[in-house]
């Protein structure tokens, strides 16, 4: 077991690492589509308000738990004198384990497309859907299936990169990567933004994002923005508790939380101004979508119609790769931190064994996308026990149950057990007064738990995935 707990080398290092964790694939391939459906500028206003009122209090609470306990997610509640809330830590840790299984493979898909735009762009453009299905081991013409060896290999390379960064440690691996990776991500964002908004016909998309259409704000839009903000900030997965435990006591938690939330939101908004105008200019507004299928299939049509599309397609998937890596290493760190601290295991061996096991389990995620009929299990109060595709079942378990349940546990713990005053005291260890202490106390006790209960209720009682 480590004699001295690892710490971030600098405040900038933490901010970039925490931002890297929060900036995931959903910021880039889900947020733009949700913003389009929610009335452009109207959705942006709603989203920013939710981040400030719910996202920030939840993130600050998790960081405070981590720094006060100086421990991993599972053991932190016991260290703070409340062993009964250890279940919250277990839920968050299990969520991280399951997410890591499929994030390794989705990251592999992204790496596959980075390579494709370097070496096989003609094949991608010829049949975007067929190429995507082929990468997943399914021939859309003949209906034949095969094991997707090539895509699995790219997933293995992505996994190996994550393992290498984690083995190097908090300061020498995670922080060092993000000090390069996050600036690179922002450079790519700016390059793609400039190209997108200067396309002929892009102005219509820009104006759509700037002009609020409040007629599209309804209950569904509110839930969409709520879930997007919630899942985007890496809350409820044990990440921020783990990252918070590496923070020095003199760091300003309030300011750090604000900066991370602002940067994460900025990435999502810039992504919206990249994707929406580009789709408007090339395929038309009716082609705007969201999710992996949109990112890997529909956007190929955008790049095909764009002058210099191969170059900008490559840069787009490179952007996704940086986002996937920065998020995935934070998830793995939270898994490894618990194992090494609880059992005193060697960090290198624990990382290697954990990554291999999670990678192998995640092969079922890729194989069940299209190639093979592998079923999982799920339950909600609308459909009862069902057997969706294994890949869908993995996402249902994390998005509809584990993540919101863990975050609800953290809110209840901070709001009613450990008390907001304890979190405020932890935030004020830097020597500065927590200016929003009263507002924070109200939000973490009442508003955030109510919002999370709403997410759980909609997920379990309507069978809807909000992420």
Q: What is the pLDDT of residues 237-248, one digit of tens each?
A: 889 999 999 999
Residues 6+ apart with CB under 8 A from 314: 114, 117, 118
- Residue labelled with tokens 């927590």: 434
Q: What is the distance between the alpha carbons of residues 158 and 331, in angstroms, rounded to a whole number?
A: 14
Please give the model's pTM, rounded to 2 decimal places.
Answer: 0.95
Q: Where are the domains of the chain?
A: 11-462
pLDDT of residue 231: 82
pLDDT of residue 466: 67
Please return the burial class of 262, using the count of CB atoms within 10 Å of its CB with bins 0-12, 13-18 and 19+: middle
Residues 6+ apart with CB under 8 A from 300: 124, 125, 128, 131, 313
| Max intra-chain CA distance, the chain | 67
Chain-centre distance for alpha carbon 314: 21
Q: What is the distance between the alpha carbons of residues 465 and 463, in angstroms, rounded to a whole number?
A: 7
Nearest to 408 by CA among 230, 243, 265: 230
For the domain spanning 11-462, the CATH number is 1.20.1740
Q: What is the distance between the alpha carbons of residues 407 and 421, in angstroms, rounded to a whole number?
A: 19
- Let me know: does 208 contact 276? Beta carbons within 8 Å: yes
What tokens were used for 239? Answer: 């990440």
Q: What is the pLDDT of residues 275-328, one digit of tens each?
A: 999 999 999 988 899 888 899 999 998 999 998 999 999 999 999 999 999 999
Beta bridge partners of 378: 386
Dihedral of alpha carbons 75, 77, 83, 87, sign: negative
pLDDT of residue 220: 85
Q: Which residues of the chain have pLDDT under 70?
A: 1-3, 466-467
Measured CA angle at 259 (ends 58, 207), to 5 deg: 100
pLDDT of residue 2: 43
Q: How far is CA 213 from CA 54, 100, 121, 242, 287, in A?
A: 23, 37, 37, 40, 19
């Amino acid at each position: 077991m480590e004699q001295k707990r690892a710490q971030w080398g600098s405040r900038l290092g933490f901010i970039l690492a925490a931002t890297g964790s929060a900036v995931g694939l959903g910021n880039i391939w889900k947020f733009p589509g949700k913003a389009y459906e929610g009335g452009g500028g109207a959705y942006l206003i709603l989203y920013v308000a939710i981040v400030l009122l719910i996202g920030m209090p939840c993130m600050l609470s998790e960081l405070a738990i981590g720094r006060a306990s100086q421990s991993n997610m599972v053991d932190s509640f016991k260290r703070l004198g409340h062993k009964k809330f250890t279940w919250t830590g277990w839920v968050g840790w299990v969520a991280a384990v399951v997410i890591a299984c499929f994030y390794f493979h989705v990251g592999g898909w992204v790496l596959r497309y980075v390579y494709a735009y370097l070496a096989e762009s003609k094949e991608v453009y010829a049949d975007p859907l067929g190429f995507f299905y082929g990468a997943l081991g399914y021939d859309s013409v003949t209906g034949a299936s095969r094991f997707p060896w090539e895509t699995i290999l790219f997933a293995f390379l992505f996994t190996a990169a994550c393992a290498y960064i984690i083995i190097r440690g908090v300061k020498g691996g995670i922080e060092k990567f993000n000090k390069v990776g996050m600036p690179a991500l922002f450079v790519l964002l700016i390059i793609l933004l400039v190209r997108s908004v200067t396309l002929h016909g892009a102005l219509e998309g820009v104006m759509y994002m700037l002009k609020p259409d409040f007629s599209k704000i309804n209950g569904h839009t509110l839930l969409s923005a709520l879930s997007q903000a919630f899942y985007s900030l890496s809350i409820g997965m044990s990440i921020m508790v783990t990252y918070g435990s590496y923070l020095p006591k003199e760091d300003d938690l309030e300011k750090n939380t604000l900066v991370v939330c602002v940067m994460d939101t900025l990435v999502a908004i810039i992504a919206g101004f990249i994707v929406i105008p580009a789709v408007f200019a090339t395929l038309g507004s009716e082609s705007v979508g969201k999710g992996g299928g949109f990112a890997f299939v529909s956007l190929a049509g955008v790049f095909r119609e764009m002058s210099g599309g191969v170059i900008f397609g490559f840069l787009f998937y490179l952007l996704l790769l940086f986002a996937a890596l920065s998020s995935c290493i934070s998830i793995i760190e939270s898994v490894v931190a618990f194992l090494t601290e609880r059992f005193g295991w060697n960090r290198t061996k624990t990382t290697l064994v954990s990554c291999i096991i999670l990678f192998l389990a995640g092969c079922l995620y890729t194989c069940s996308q299209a190639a093979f009929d592998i079923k999982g299990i799920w339950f909600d109060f609308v459909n009862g026990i069902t057997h969706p595709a294994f890949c869908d079942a993995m996402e249902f378990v994390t998005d509809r149950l584990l993540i919101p349940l863990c975050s609800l546990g953290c809110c209840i713990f901070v709001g009613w057990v450990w008390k907001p005053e304890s979190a405020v005291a932890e935030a004020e260890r830097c020597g500065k007064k927590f200016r929003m202490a009263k507002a924070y106390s109200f939000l973490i006790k009442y508003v955030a738990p109510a919002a999370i209960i709403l997410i759980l209720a909609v997920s379990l009682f309507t069978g809807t995935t909000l992420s």
